[in-house]
Amino acid sequence: MQIEMKGIDKSFGTNQVLKDAGFVLGHGEVHALMGENGAGKSTLMKILTGVYTKDKGTVVVDGQEVSYKNPQEAEKAGIVFIHQELNVLFDLTVEENLFMGKEIKNKFGFCDQKAMRQKASEALGRLGVKIDPGEVMSNLSVGQQQMIEICKALMVDAKVIIMDEPTAALTQSETVVLFEVIKSLRKSGVSIVYISHRMEEIFELCDRISVLRDGTYVGTRNIPETNMNDIVKLMIGREIGERYPERDCEIGETVLKVSGLTKKGVFENVEFDVKAGEVLGVSGLMGAGRTEIMQAIFGNLPYESGRIEINGKEVQIKSPIQAMKNGIGFITEDRKVEGLMLEESIEKNDDGLPRRDYDLHRRETDLEPWGQFCAETGGKRELLSYSNPGHPASFDLCRILFPVE
């Protein structure tokens, strides 16, 4: 399948997110789509698959101009979008998620559970994933849920698969498996649109790179004929100096100290401290307890023993509200479920945080970070789900760093 998008414009209210954007996908290629957060990558692909309606421009698939009304139409045509925000039903099993709306029926019109279980097992085996098809989705890690989403696309015999940050929540071993699957799909003639910020992955896996900047198409490069510096220049519009410049920030006194933090079976005797102005990385394989440790510090997961100190004083944090009152913010790995109400407005998402004299209007007009954010999104009443895919993350960080007291 070959796709050409040309002259695409798209606005949400007064916020224009795409202007004369374009993209060309060849048969059986892995094509990276790159750009800074907010460049319009996901929005362009949502227009291709019928999630959004374009304001202007053309979409041509195999020589025919098309305009899919919804993702189901695009899927029937062989185009599947695996979104960065997972589209799964957490209370259903893996098998039920895989066959939602595509159930295999027996001659009596009932679901053929045996046939679906067998096909689900085969599809998971193709990905090299050891997951019981009868397992409930809520019991799986985010990385495992991502693999189920990829499995869905493989099961509908897609001709084009769009992957939006597919490795963001995968372990290294899961990423290796995914790359092998992508290479196999390319050999069989399937085209892949690969949206990612991970340069090393793109140069290892992809054939070409197209770049968007501020919602506009700026260029395409063949992988053998370009390098990382050239792509970064296309993305930001200027030369970048050192990729890893020398750091000159001042490191202050200890502001957070954790000692002997323990929750049996999850994490034990965790100890670390963080100083003012310092960025501390917490690393480990999926399931090692990284997220659970942070949830315990934030008061969202009870722990059995240990000590938490802020600015040298021990604090008892039993709830997220207590954590926020002590100056601790938490940005969850799964904003869609745990962090934000994507179907509500920016204003409504910002309400309810523990602060005095709540006034979003003052935040929007008087505080520079909030003024910039609201200007980019189209205002405080815009739905987060309608804003650029990068905006929910920016909002989550902004409301923690710049609260109104």
What pLDDT sits at residue 311?
A: 93
What pLDDT sits at residue 358?
A: 39
What pLDDT sits at residue 83?
A: 83
Domain boundaries, the chain: 3-236, 250-330, 332-405
Tokens for 303, please give them. Answer: 């722990």
Give the C-alpha separation, 212 to 215, whole Å: 6
- Residue 87 CB neighbours (<10 A): 14
What pLDDT sits at residue 363?
A: 46
What pLDDT sits at residue 101?
A: 83
What pLDDT sits at residue 12?
A: 82
% helix / strand / coil in the chain, to the nearest 5?
35, 25, 40
What pLDDT sits at residue 49?
A: 95
Longest dimension (CA), the chain: 72
CATH architecture, domain defined by 3-236:
3-Layer(aba) Sandwich (3.40)
What pLDDT sits at residue 293?
A: 93
Alpha helix (H) ranges present in 134-191?
A: 142-155, 172-187
pLDDT of the chain, 405 residues: tens digit per residue: 999 999 999 998 777 899 999 999 999 999 999 998 888 998 999 999 999 999 999 999 999 999 999 999 999 999 999 887 778 888 999 999 999 888 888 888 888 888 998 888 888 887 777 889 999 998 987 778 888 888 888 788 789 999 998 887 777 777 888 888 889 889 989 999 999 989 999 999 999 999 999 999 999 999 999 998 899 899 988 766 555 667 778 889 999 999 999 999 899 999 999 999 899 999 887 678 888 999 999 998 999 999 999 999 999 999 988 998 888 988 876 666 666 666 666 666 666 454 434 344 444 444 455 445 554 555 555 555 555 555 566 666 666 666 544
pTM of the model: 0.69
What pLDDT sits at residue 399?
A: 65
DSSP for residue 136: B
The arrangement of strands across the sheet holding 208-213 comes to 79-82, 160-164, 191-195, 30-34, 208-213, 216-222
